[in-house]
Structure 1
Amino acid sequence: MAKDQTLVGLDAILNELGPFGKYNIINFALYLFPCFLAGMYGSVFIFEASDISYRCQVNECENVSNTSLWLEHAIPKEKGGYSKCFRHPLLENITSSNSSCMANAFDTTVQEKCSSYVYSDEDSAVKDFNLGCLNWKRTLIGTIHNSGLFLSLPLTGIVSDRYGRKVALSIAALMNCIFGFTRSFSTNYVMMVSLEFLEAGFGAGAYTTAFVLAMELVGPKGRVFGNTMINVVFVFGLMTLASLSWLLQDWRTLLRVIYAPSCLIFSYLWILNESIRWLLSKGRHDEAVAILEKAAKMNNVKLSENVLSPLQELEKKPIEDKEETEIVEDKPSIFLQVIRSSIIRKRLVTCSYLWITCTFVYYGLSINSVSLAGNKYINFMLVAFIEIPANFVCLFVLDRFGRKRVMIITYILSAILCISLSFLPKDQSWWSLVFYLSGKFSITVAYSSVYIYVSEVFPTNVRQSLLAVCSSTGRVGSTLAPLTPLLALYYDNLPSIFFGTLAVLAGLLVFTLPETINVPLPDSIEEAERLSKERNKTVA
């Protein structure tokens, strides 16, 4: 119990240190760098294997340089252009040796699948690995990348809660660097997708670890602002990715440029301070006090004795602590205690579904943006840029109206906008863009709210692990999102209908959760359960 009281009192110490001291700014800036890189890593597959222009290779006529003489007769028209996957065969009485590649040489009443392709000058793994008309293989690249998060996030969470936040962050960043950089040298499709999985499987947890470090650095009043800054930096990562892709026009060079900086984060193992809150949860009070004193010195703040005394008293009572520790060691592991709590268990399931919805709609809209009319790089940057005002709106509304109300409104609004896209006439491109960006705006506010909300409803000693469980389960959405362009081949409005349906259900489920506005982070299972009990009393 003494340990829990000390953890609660940490918020008072953080308030005395101040939110914008030198220590806070330097450490927060260090946390932002991996978040910036994560913005690029999570969506790079969109430009790695982007859909490009190509057509059937007509071997009988490719030696005729003037394609206008034969192309229109050899390739059928489809959606205002030449078909990518079909061609007209030669007439039976025409052979390649005597064909003059004229209109009467092809049977325009019959279509056959291509056996080989002629690709445009655009850069893509589709061209390098001959993925013409293999859309399932192209979209599978993103699915395999995102499926790696099912491994990465729980694994990083376990390492983070057991060995420390900075250890987990440093190792994950190193894995990003090694596997991402190596992927640029892929010689075949199998090598590429294998490295996609390994890079995400061992490195994607860097973002969630940096996020938890940032949330544990600031006090209750600074969580929303800190969350907003992280999300804005993440958006800059997305926009930088599109800019570099447009500038370099070479997916291999792009990978080398964006993954090399991740190796620098490995140095955090030596230059970064461990999370004070994590140290206290592990009973390492002397190290926590040392960091607090260092922070106070850097911030030019004199900490009052009454806020530090609980920590100092615990340092002077090793015998009593040892006796308490022996009792605790006889109890089940903290993770098992959490899972046995019906309140926390239901909360975990609900938060996981909220995350699934956010990732599915968020990434689905981002991925499909490159298929909109116009320049794909500008479209992607525009859809990414809309997240910046969304995050600042989140900054102002979360502390004013509460987490629950904001999530309910944004989920429902996102659902309405996404479903409305299926009813807009095809010629209303302007209104389609407005609704598209508005839908992305709404789901971004919901996503930002969920991220900060989940970090507030679970106990400190398993916060990273349960955040990782929610995030990794939620990656079902981001794993399915790259496949939504395939769904549109069967029915144009199917993706938007899926987006809207999931968002409606998510909005309804938020009603079952407790409010966490201006509530200290729970440091024990009892405190986390009390959030729901207090909500029930209020309702009663």
Structure 2
Amino acid sequence: MTEFGDFMNVLGDFGPYQKLLIFFISLPLLLNPFQMIGQVFMVLEVPHHCDTSWIRAVGPNLTEEEQLNLTLPRGADGAYEQCRRYSPVDWDLDSIRSYGLNATEECRSGWVYPAGQPPSLLTEFDLVCERKDLKDISQSIYMAGLLLGAIIFGALSDRVGRRPVFLISISLQGFFGLGTAFAPHLYVYMAFRCVVGIAVSGILITSLALATEWVGVSRPKAVLITHCCLALGQVLLAGLTYGVRNWRLLEIAGNAPLFALFFYIWVLPESARWLVTKGRIEEAKKVLQKAASFNKRTIPPELLEQLNPVKQTKSGSILDLFWKKQLRKVILIMLVTWFANSLVYYGLSLSVTSFGLDIYLTQLAFGAVELPARLSCIFLLEWFGRKKTQAVLLLLSGLMCLIITGIPEDQPVVITVLAIIGKFTATASFSTSHIYAAELLPTIIRQTGVGLCSMSARVAGVLAPLIRPLAEFHQAIPLAIFGSPPVLVGLLCFLLPETSGNDLADDLRSAKPQLRSKNLEELAKKDFTDDGADLKKDIYRSLESK
């Protein structure tokens, strides 16, 4: 039976058709960073204090300073308390001035913010004082949406196809993302953000599948091009959040562009490799012929006639990942790899406000460093292979976080530089793990496995915002937690098999990636010693069987 890799040789490893496809699936990823960390810029701390307008009933002519001086206690530093006020009393103004107020209470009537301040998520929903934890909880709910999306769309993509899941996810993100701009209540906002997280997860895992399955041995380059759009989105995020301070307008600007992609319904193809695994051979032939025509190639009719479904057409189960001996070690190590990757990546990204420098400049640097980080993977994976690259990058990202814990807080430049290096290695490691997981898993269960890995990453994403408040006890605690798992898991990655230069496996029986025909032909042309004559015969027999 002709293997699908042979069609990639005829079609072109990374021809114009595949490049156009990569361009299409990359466009939605430009908005991904806005969904991931855009909220950080909507909840920036602003000066605030309790609403004490009650005293205006007895002293309508008081100046603002007099009002605050009579109704707000002062802290040890002499500044007005932001989260407490003196309890209201039924005295006249002269009595209040003469005796003063002593009993304090929480801000029961709300808070007052600086006049002229653009409306932000923090000021509109009062995410301050005892409500400040709702900021991190809201971010965790979005991450929980990513987790749900991985659960739902990972297996669904293996069953109904990559194309419908990708289109559904774009639609959900567009409608519910735009809906967040009109949320009347914080809990409505959280619910919409959860659905957006589900949609973003669907886009991420299906774009990985399409980029992997439509390209030959150049698939790392294809996947990393899509990831470069994530990096470009990080840079655009810094400019967008700097220019648009109204959080509702910011939500509109970050989601409305998705509606311009409605034409994907007609131009986005299904994965031909997935169609073959499902036994939908005629559909696969049509898609392959269309791609060949676009690439100005011709697929020989006799080659098309040899295109048959893989022997195992039944969808793989998530249990196969743990019951099959050759997959068990792979999936367990990849699960903890994605978890550690996500923990350090989001831990650094969401801590952008705590490094001591201007938040917009720091975000610009974080975004700018992602582009070379993604691009460098193209060369790192080619020179050192998947296994070494994954392990070393993960180790370095964790070490940077651990080193920062020993730097004094009065050295913001040093801390920021180390954080940028950590972001570089964490980003490159994240890109590597996407490519590595897609190559290690067979097509019949690839999206289920990638979805499971994504679930593991999203659990870390849910935890990352909840770990940040631990800085109240000690500044080093969050970064110590973010940095420790990557160091340990990086060592485990050395136990994984290498996949560089191998073709993708399609069914569970051939779960270990196989050398492509082109590689066999190159080996067959080499001279062997007499001791290697049998090996040469085996190679020729393998070629003849195709």
Normalised by the length of structure 1, the TM-score is 0.86
- The alpha-carbon deviation at position 12 of structure 1 amounts to 2.5
Q: CA deviation at 1:517?
A: 1.2
d(CA) in 1 for partners of 2:203, 2:76: 44
Q: Structure 1's 314 and 421: CA in aligned 2 closer, same or farther, altered over 3 A? A: closer
Write the distance in 1 (CA, Å) between the matches of 2:424 and 2:320: 38
Q: Give the direction of change, closer, same or farther, for the CA distance of 1:332–1:43 in structure 2 (3 Å limit).
A: closer
Closer, same or farther in 2 for the Cα pair 1:448/1:203, shift >3 Å? closer
Pick from 287, 290, 293 the counterpart of residue 286 of structure 2.
290
Deviation at 1:381, TM superposition (A): 2.2
Q: Distance in 2 between matches of 1:79 and 1:23?
A: 65
Instruction: Report deviation, 1:333.
Output: 5.0
Say if 1:509 and 1:250 are closer, same or farther in 2 by CA, change over 3 A.
same
Greater Cα offset, 252-261 or 181-190: 252-261
Q: Which residue of 2 aligns with 1:159?
A: 156
Q: CA deviation at 1:131?
A: 2.5
Which residue of the other structure, out of 326, 329, 353, is the alignment partner of 1:343? Answer: 326
Identify the match of residue 279 of structure 1 among 263, 275, 281.
275
Structure 2 partner of 1:145: 142
Is 2:183 aligned against 1:186?
yes
Task: Check whether the contact 1:51–1:124 (CA below 8 A) recurs between aligned residues.
Answer: no
Where do 1:120-519 residues align within 5 Å? 120=114, 121-133=117-129, 134-220=131-217, 222-303=218-299, 305=300, 309-314=302-307, 333=316, 335-519=318-502
Q: 2:34 aligns with which of 40, 49, 53?
A: 40
Q: What is the match of residue 7 of structure 1? A: 4
- Tell me if the contact between 2:52 and 2:71 (Cα under 8 Å) persists in the aligned partners: no
Change (3 A) 1:69 1:86: closer
- Corresponding letter in the other structure for 2:204: Y
Query: How far off is 1:285 after superposition?
Result: 2.4
Deviations 1:514-538 (A, max 9, x none): 111111111122332478xxxxxxx
Question: What do the CA deviations read for 1:106-161 (whole angstroms, capped 9, x no partner)?
Answer: 55xx8643333112314322211223211221211100011012221221122321
CA distance in 2, matches of 1:249, 1:150: 29
Alpha-carbon distance between aligned partners in 1 of 2:291 and 2:315, rounded to the nearest angstrom: 35
Moved more, 37-46 or 397-406: 37-46
Deviations 1:13-69 (A, max 9, x none): 34xx242x3322221111111221223222233234444332223346676444288
Using the TM superposition, give the Cα deviation of residue 349 of structure 1 relative to its aligned residue in structure 2, in angstroms.
Answer: 2.1
2: CA distance between counterparts of 1:447 and 1:79? 44
Distance 2:513 2:501 in 1: 15
Asked whether the 8 Å contact 2:176–2:192 carries over to 1, the reply is yes
SS of residue in 1 equivalent to 2:505: coil
Cα-to-partner distance string for 1:413-466 (whole Å, 9 max, x where unaligned): 222211111111122222111111111111111111111111110001111121
- The Cα shift of 1:244 comes to 1.9
Contact 1:459 1:523 in 2 (8 A): yes
Shift of residue 100 of structure 1?
6.9
What is the aligned partner in structure 1 of residue 74 from structure 2?
A: 76
8 Å contact from structure 1 (residues 52, 122) kept in 2: no
- Write out aligned runs for 1:84-123 (5 A): 84-87=82-85, 95=91, 97-98=93-94, 105=100, 107=102, 112-115=105-108, 116-120=110-114, 121-123=117-119
Give the match's secondary structure for 1:456. Answer: helix
Partner of 1:27: 21
Q: What is the percentage of aligned positions where both structures have the same residue? A: 28
Q: Is the 8 A contact 1:232 1:391 kept in 2?
A: yes
SS in 1 for 2:503: coil
Shift of 1:365: 0.8
- Equivalent residues of 1:228, 1:392 under 8 A apart: yes
How far apart in 1 are the matches of 2:245 and 2:95?
38
Aligned to 2:541: none
Amino acid at match of 1:74: L
Q: Which structure 2 segments of 5+ residues have no match?
A: 515-546
**Superposed CA offset, 1:150-208 (max 9, x none):** 22122112232122211110011111112111121111112111111122234531122
| Count of aligned positions | 506
- Report the CA distance between 1:288 and its aligned residue: 2.2
How far does residue 343 in structure 1 lie from its aligned partner after superposition?
A: 3.0
Partner amino acid for 2:82? Answer: K
Give, in whole Å, the separation in 1 of the partners of 2:495 and 2:78: 50
Whole-angstrom distance in 2 between the partners of 1:270 and 1:496? 46
Find the counterpart in structure 1 of residue 47 from structure 2: 53
Q: Tell whether the 8 Å contact from 1:35 to 1:210 is kept in structure 2 after alignment.
A: no
Mark the runs of 5 or more structure 1 residues left unpaired by the alignment.
Answer: 316-320, 532-540
Contact kept, 8 Å, 1:407 with 1:450, in 2: the verdict is yes
Matches of 1:501 and 1:96, distance apart in 2? 60
Letter in 2 for 1:239: V
Normalised by the length of structure 2, the TM-score is 0.85
CA pair 333-403 structure 1, distance change in 2 beyond 3 A: closer
Instruction: Report how far residue 310 of structure 1 moved.
Output: 4.3
Deviations 1:457-481 (A, max 9, x none): 0001111121011002211111111
Quick check: 1:89–1:111 contact (8 Å CA) kept in 2?
Answer: yes
Q: Secondary structure at the match of 1:38?
A: helix
Question: Per the alignment, do residues 100 and 228 of structure 1 end up closer, same or farther by CA in structure 2, a change over 3 Å counting?
Answer: same
C-alpha deviation, 1:340, in angstroms: 2.0
Amino acid at match of 2:164: V
**In structure 2, distance between residues paired with 1:375 and 1:332:** 51
Give the counterpart letter for 1:501 in structure 2: S
Q: Residues 181 and 260 of structure 1 are in contact (CA less than 8 Å); yes or no, is this contact kept in structure 2?
A: yes
Shift of 1:89: 6.2
